């Protein structure tokens, strides 16, 4: 009699894809996926969620245990699908919450193929042509942003944060040579706009520079790094004998789509190298994880406008492109396909202008005795990661093939067109203002004022609210007011009336140091249309009316100051 474990092995084998061709089992594999998809489909409704939102029981989860016996593929599938309940449908036209994109079918297939055959990009011995896919996706991107493909190189890593980590670590090694081995014995700083991503702080902390060494540079009202203040801060650091690990240029900020003047930052860097006779060239990293995709418009003929965008959209696309076209001036560029490239998480690429920069990160051969004996492509010699999935490059490549330049133009153009339409509607109403009017992306930050306070939406008064300390109390009260409007709009959206938006607690600071709360529409779905934009304004007006009624009924009159 066979040992009991042998029986279990029989079942276990059925739960794996078969190593050799087996048509019957292949159809079981496909059927299993379809079974999962059918169950997810049953959760879809007209709302932008997969069924009602379920309150998670974290306490029970903390005490969860491993089951003693096996389950079937079917049972596990149903279990897993259960975790999708209440999940936001990111591709729904009424989901406009954040820079989270719906992935295309080919990009999901790319991830699936990598998941099924499990390449490890550390070494081509373990990834074969998946390694080629990585080189190809990096090559296409290098060409797209305008790098010399002969000189450039790229690697997929663990997110936009990872891309900045590579940029900053390379910069630190340039500024403090040998620090990768010996550790850091000097003070090194990095500069980033105050609207730039907070990952700069995490990175500076994790690599031992210390997050206190991140110098946050204030931004102009257009959400661009203030070049005068950047220059001042850089000079000060150099005069104090500090090293500059990196200048980070934010090319599409997370909240407002602010784009820094990369060309001016590079020129400043060059001037400082001369003036201070620096023995190294401070590294300029472009955090373009959001903005990179606009590169497809670098050679779009805005005059001819063959894709037929509206004039306002054209101006927005051309406006963003004016800065994005300077990407090749940066020493490294971070790209997130999982943000504006319509792939699943994680698909992020760090590109360096000069492949030799990657050598700065190289480990000693003796540290990796069991790897890299054959093959040609050995990125594991300098990546932070040991195992690296092939899913990211396959997903990126899938969308490059699917969309091409024209497809990406149409898709990005549509998101921007819909965002511009929303702005038109918001600006057409006296109760709301668009805050990031000079930022030309798919994200719109706006602020709503109570009836009777429309005067605040005129240009001069709008400025005053954010620049005059005498406005502090009113400004903070309107912060509260916008939280309330946002809560109303959210509640309505969850009930199937309106659009899921988000709220940012601090789109930027007032000149007197208070956070400005703003409502946010981030359009990322190709399914967004005129209707799902118009309804936002409708809901906002409804919220105003609702709040006015509540204030009138409020016996304590706590809310009346909004209307006073």
Ligand X SMILES: *Cc1c(COP(=O)(O)O)cnc(C)c1O
Interacting positions 449-508 with ligand X (CB under 6 A): none
- Pick between residue 261 and residue 336 the one whose CB is nearest to ligand X: 336
- Measured CA to CA, the distance from residue 511 to residue 508 in angstroms comes to 9
The smaller minimum CB distance to ligand X, of residues 50 and 199, is found at: 199
Kind and range of the H or E element at 188? Answer: strand 188-193
CB of 524 to ligand X, least distance (A): 12
Site string for ligand X, 280-309 (x = CB under 6 A): -------x-xx-------------------
By C-beta, is 95 or 161 nearer to ligand X? 161
Number of residues that bind ligand X (CB under 6 A): 13
Nearer to ligand X, 219 or 250 (CB): 250
Task: Write out the binding residues for ligand X, residues 133-192 only, by CB under 6 A.
Answer: 159-161
Those residues whose C-beta lies under 8 Å from the C-beta of residue 17, and which sit 6 or more positions away, are 25, 29, 116
Task: Give me the 61-100 binding string for ligand X, x by CB under 6 A, dash otherwise.
Answer: ----------------------------------------
Q: Work out whether 254 is an interface residue with ligand X (CB under 6 A).
A: yes
Residues in the chain, total: 564
Are the beta carbons of 447 and 426 closer than 8 angstroms?
no
- Decide whether 197 or 269 has the Cβ nearer to ligand X: 197
| Residue 372 main-chain phi, psi, to 5 deg | 65, 40
Distances (CA, A) of 150 to 146, 154, 459: 12, 12, 49
**Residues 463, 437: contact at Cβ < 8 Å?**
no
Q: Which of 289, 295, 341, 335 is nearest to 103 (CA)?
A: 341
Identify which of residues 250 and 521 has a Cβ nearer to ligand X in the complex.
250
Does residue 95 contact residue 530 with C-beta atoms inside 8 Å? no
Site string for ligand X, 194-213 (x = CB under 6 A): ---x-x--------------
Contact status, residue 293 vs residue 405, Cβ threshold 8 Å: no
> Cβ-closest residue to ligand X?
160
Structure tokens at 317: 């696309």
Q: Could you say which DSSP state residue 103 is in?
A: P
Measured from the CB atom, is 254 or 482 closer to ligand X? Answer: 254
Please report how close the Cβ of residue 296 comes to ligand X at its closest, in angstroms.
19
Beta-bridged to residue 217, according to DSSP, are 193
Copy the structure tokens of residue 478. 């309107």
* Residue (110 or 160) nearer to ligand X, CB: 160
Kindly state the smallest distance separating residue 339's Cβ from ligand X, in Å. Answer: 6
Residue 348 touching ligand X (CB under 6 A): yes
Question: For ligand X, which residue of 260, 261, 336, 465 counts as binding (CB under 6 A)?
Answer: 336
Of the candidate spans 249-257, 383-391, 435-443, 470-478, the one that interacts with ligand X by CB under 6 A turns out to be: 249-257
- Classify burial at 426, counting beta carbons within 10 Å of its beta carbon; exposed 0-12, middle 13-18, buried 19 or more: buried
Q: Which stretches of the chain bind ligand X, using CB under 6 A?
A: 159-161, 197, 199, 250, 253-254, 287, 289-290, 336, 348
């Amino acid at each position: 009699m066979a040992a009991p474990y042998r029986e279990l092995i029989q079942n276990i084998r059925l739960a794996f894809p078969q190593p050799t061709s087996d048509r019957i089992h292949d159809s079981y594999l496909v059927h299993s996926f379809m079974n999962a998809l059918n169950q997810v489909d049953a959760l879809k409704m007209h709302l932008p969620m997969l069924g009602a939102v379920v309150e998670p029981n974290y306490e029970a989860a903390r005490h969860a245990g491993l089951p003693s016996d096996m389950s079937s593929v079917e049972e596990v599938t149903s279990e897993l699908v259960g975790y999708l309940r209440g999940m936001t449908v990111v591709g729904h036209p009424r989901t406009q919450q954040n820079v989270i994109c719906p992935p295309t079918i080919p990009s999901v297939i790319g991830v699936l193929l990598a998941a099924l055959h499990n390449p490890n990009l550390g070494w081509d011995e373990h990834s074969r042509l998946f390694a080629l896919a990585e080189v190809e996706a990096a090559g296409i991107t290098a060409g797209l942003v305008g790098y010399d493909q002969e000189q450039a190189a790229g690697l997929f890593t663990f997110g936009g944060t990872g891309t900045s980590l590579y940029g900053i670590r390379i910069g630190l090694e340039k500024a403090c040579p040998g620090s990768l081995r010996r550790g850091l014995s000097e003070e090194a700083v990095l500069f980033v706009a105050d609207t730039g991503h907070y990952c700069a702080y995490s990175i500076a902390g994790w690599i031992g520079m210390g997050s206190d060494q991140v110098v946050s540079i204030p931004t102009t009202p257009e959400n661009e790094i203030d070049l005068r203040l950047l220059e001042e801060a850089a000079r000060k650091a150099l005069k104090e004998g500090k090293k500059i690990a990196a200048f980070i240029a934010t090319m599409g900020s997370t909240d407002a789509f602010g784009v820094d003047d990369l060309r001016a930052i590079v020129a400043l860097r060059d001037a400082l190298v001369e003036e201070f006779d620096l023995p190294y060239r401070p590294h300029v990293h472009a955090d373009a994880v959001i903005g990179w995709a606009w590169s497809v418009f670098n050679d779009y003929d805005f005059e001819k406008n063959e894709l037929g965008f509206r004039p306002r959209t054209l101006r927005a696309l051309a406006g963003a492109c004016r800065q994005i076209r300077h990407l090749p001036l940066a020493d490294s560029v971070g790209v997130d396909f999982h943000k504006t490239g319509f792939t699943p998480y994680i698909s992020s690429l760090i590109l360096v202008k000069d492949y030799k920069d990657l050598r700065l990160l190289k480990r000693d051969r003796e540290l990796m005795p069991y790897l890299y004996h054959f093959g040609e492509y050995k990125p594991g010699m300098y990546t932070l990661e040991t195992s690296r999935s092939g899913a990211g490059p396959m997903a990126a490549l899938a969308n490059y093939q699917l969309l091409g330049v024209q497809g990406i133009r149409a898709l990005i153009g549509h998101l921007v067109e819909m965002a511009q339409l929303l702005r038109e509607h918001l600006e057409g109403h006296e109760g709301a203002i668009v805050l990031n009017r000079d930022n030309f992306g798919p994200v719109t930050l706006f602020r709503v004022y109570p009836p009777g306070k429309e005067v605040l939406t005129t240009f001069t008064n709008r400025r005053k609210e954010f620049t005059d300390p005498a406005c502090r109390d009113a400004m903070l009260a309107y912060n509260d007011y916008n939280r309330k409007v946002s809560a109303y709009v959210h509640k309505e959206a969850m009930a199937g009336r309106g659009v899921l938006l988000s709220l940012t607690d601090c789109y930027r600071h007032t000149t007197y140091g208070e956070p400005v709360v703003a409502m946010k529409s981030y359009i990322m779905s190709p399914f967004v249309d005129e209707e799902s934009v118009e309804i936002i304004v409708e809901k906002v007006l409804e919220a105003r009316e609702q709040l006015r009624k509540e204030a009138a009924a409020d016996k304590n009159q706590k809310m009346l100051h909004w209307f006073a």
